[in-house]
């Protein structure tokens, strides 16, 4: 069976969920071969094996942490040359897309970014993308070279599919460009203890109606009652009420959770672009004319400062 290269996103050996979703999609096309680089790369193997990786190619060097993107491109290219895969799949993070794009130039291939689904086809893998602020869905394929495709989080279920997951050392020689951009300092983001925004099953977001940084505590309380991630509209972020890393929308993250709760968000195109594909959408807004109500499965016209705390209390009571 043809092999499919899967680039592993991990933190010191802990594999992130979108990579496991990629393994599910890779198995539709062929036999997954994972590529993990950087500190802790070898520790990814057991998790990857449980989810279908036949082989896990690993390499560690200080360059991966000390320089931006290019060392990882060199590694993925080395894996590509060693494996000659039928396709290369990379998680659609900011960095993942950059790695995939540079690899595509090097191997003379086309690239598809931000796929939300992937299936085998007669002329190679067919990728579904959600475009124009999710108002259209397109199906595309790479028509030149080996398909390089980046896939968004929450695009496939994580499935147990035990495989060998044999660890093999990957030989990587770094290119002249590898040390071009130095990471002079790195400040890790403080963990909030909440799920990653793009990976969360439930997202609770606040917008202009939250009316102040301090008031986001009631959004966070609702999120915590549901084990959800916290999002914010551009208006709330631009006002400085919540960090940009939590922004949902065209210039922030695009999310596709099982449940999206929008509080005090009007639903401008900028925001809709980032959440329109959520499975179930719920909104609380004072303005009954707010465009967000066109999208909802359930909406409450009312004051979020009344409705949200009551909802939080009720959820806690029901959960006991």
Stretch that binds other proteins, among 39-47, 54-62, 80-88, 178-186 (CB under 8 A): 178-186
Could you tell me which stretch among 41-49, 133-141, 160-168, 209-217 binds other proteins (CB under 8 A)?
A: 133-141
When binding is defined by CB under 8 A, the residue of 6, 86, 126, 167 that contacts other proteins is 126
User: Binding of other proteins at residue 104 (CB under 8 A)?
Assistant: yes
Q: Which is nearer to other proteins, 58 or 246 (CB)?
A: 246
In 3D space, the residue among 37, 42, 46 whose CA is nearest the CA of residue 171 turns out to be 37
Residue 30 tokens, joined: 């062929």
Give min distance, CB of 49 to other proteins, in A. 24
240 binds other proteins (CB under 8 A): no
Exactly one of 166, 213, 217, 269 binds other proteins (CB under 8 A); which one?
269
Query: Considering the rule CB under 8 A, would residue 6 count as an interface residue with other proteins?
Result: no
Angle at 215 between CA 214 and CA 218, to 5 degrees: 125
22 binds other proteins (CB under 8 A): no
Q: Smallest gap, in angstroms, from Cβ of residue 247 to other proteins?
A: 9
Residue window 145-174: x/- pattern of binding to other proteins, with contact defined by CB under 8 A: x-----------------------------
Stretch that binds other proteins, among 17-25, 28-36, 81-89, 102-110 (CB under 8 A): 102-110
- DSSP code of 67? B
Interface mask (CB under 8 A) for other proteins, residues 195-214, using x and -? -x-----x------------
Q: Tokens 């659609």 label which residue? A: 92
Handedness of CA 172, 174, 178, 183 (dihedral sign): positive
Burial of 6 (0-12, 13-18, 19+ CB in 10 A): buried
Residues facing residue 36 across a β-bridge: 58
Site for other proteins in 209-238 (CB under 8 A): 226
Per-position DSSP letters for 205-253, written without gaps between them: EE-GGG-SSTTHHHHHHHHHHHT-EEEE-HHHHHTTSS-GGGBBSTTSB
Distance from CA of residue 191 to its chain's centroid?
Answer: 17
CA atoms within 13 A on the CB side of 280: 8
């Amino acid at each position: 069976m043809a092999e499919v290269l899967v680039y592993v996103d991990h933190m010191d050996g802990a594999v992130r969920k979108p990579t496991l979703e990629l393994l599910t999609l890779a198995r539709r096309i062929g036999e997954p071969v994972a590529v993990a680089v950087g500190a802790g790369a070898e520790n990814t193997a057991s998790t990857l094996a449980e989810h279908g990786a036949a082989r896990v190619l690993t390499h560690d060097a200080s360059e991966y942490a000390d320089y931006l993107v290019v060392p990882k491109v060199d590694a993925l290219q080395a894996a590509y040359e060693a494996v000659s895969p039928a396709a290369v799949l990379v998680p659609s993070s900011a960095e993942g897309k950059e790695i995939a794009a540079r690899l595509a130039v090097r191997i003379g291939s086309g690239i598809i970014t931000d796929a939300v689904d992937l299936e085998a086809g007669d002329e190679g893998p067919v990728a579904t993308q959600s475009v124009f602020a999710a108002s259209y869905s397109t199906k595309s394929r790479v028509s030149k070279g080996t398909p390089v495709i980046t896939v968004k989080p929450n695009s496939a279920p994580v499935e147990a599919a035990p495989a060998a997951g044999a660890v093999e050392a990957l030989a990587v020689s770094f290119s002249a460009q590898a040390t071009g951009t130095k990471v002079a300092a790195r400040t890790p983001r403080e963990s909030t203890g909440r799920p990653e925004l793009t990976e969360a099953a439930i997202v609770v977001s606040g917008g202009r109606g939250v009316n102040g940084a301090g008031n986001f505590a009631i959004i966070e309380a609702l999120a915590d009652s549901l084990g959800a991630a916290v999002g914010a509209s551009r208006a709330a972020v631009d006002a400085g009420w919540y960090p940009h890393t939590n922004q949902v929308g065209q210039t922030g993250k695009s999310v596709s959770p099982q449940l999206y709760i929008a509080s005090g968000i009007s639903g401008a195109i900028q925001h809709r672009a980032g959440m329109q594909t959520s499975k179930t959408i719920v909104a609380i807004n004072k303005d009954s004319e707010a465009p967000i109500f066109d999208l909802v499965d359930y909406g409450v016209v009312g004051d979020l400062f009344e409705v949200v705390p009551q909802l939080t209390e009720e959820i806690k009571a029901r959960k006991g």
